[in-house]
Amino acid sequence: MEFYYPNFINDMWRIFGLVYFGDKDRFVDQRHKTFRLDELRPFLEEKGIALSDTGREVVREKDNAADKHLSIKRHIDLADILSGLPECEAVATTGEKAASVVAEITGTEIPKTGECAECSLTLKDGTIRSFRHWRMPSSSRAYPLKIDRKAEMYARMLQTIEVH
């Protein structure tokens, strides 16, 4: 996959369009049934939004995209990632599987959807890094929440961490 959330029926980039521009089609290339990556990448960089998978080694146990059939064999090295992002104050996960990985890494409870947990990790240099872990609703249309409500939850999170 060329970039995150590539499935045209996934609403992540529509959510960002709604949150920042009031237009769910802001990053949608309707004619080609894809997203405008040439606009998305600089937009995310300007806003200071980084993306990462929570799994480094992943096995799909069934031939579908459902997280419940996803087995994460090796998760991200979150402490290493945060070492390289000194201004990062929050980690947002989009769904229960990703939220459970971050909760496991940090030894915290999985936050309720749309909420956050205070976390800390010891970095490789020995410093302790505090941050908030936000569990956001999945942007998949299989997740039973209307896109407008998802966008409201993302907007609240982004405003709380001052990503404007």
Q: Give pLDDT tens digits for 108-155.
A: 999 999 999 999 999 989 999 999 999 999 999 988 899 999 999 999
Q: Give pLDDT tens digits for 85-101.
A: 998 999 999 988 899 99
Has residue 68 got a pLDDT over 80? Answer: no
> What is the set of domains in the chain, with CATH numbers?
12-160 (3.40.470)
pTM (2 d.p.): 0.89
Calpha distance 21→155 (Å, rounded) = 11
Check: CB of residue 142 under 8 Å from CB of residue 164. no
Strand partners, 129: 121
Has residue 164 got a pLDDT over 70? Answer: no
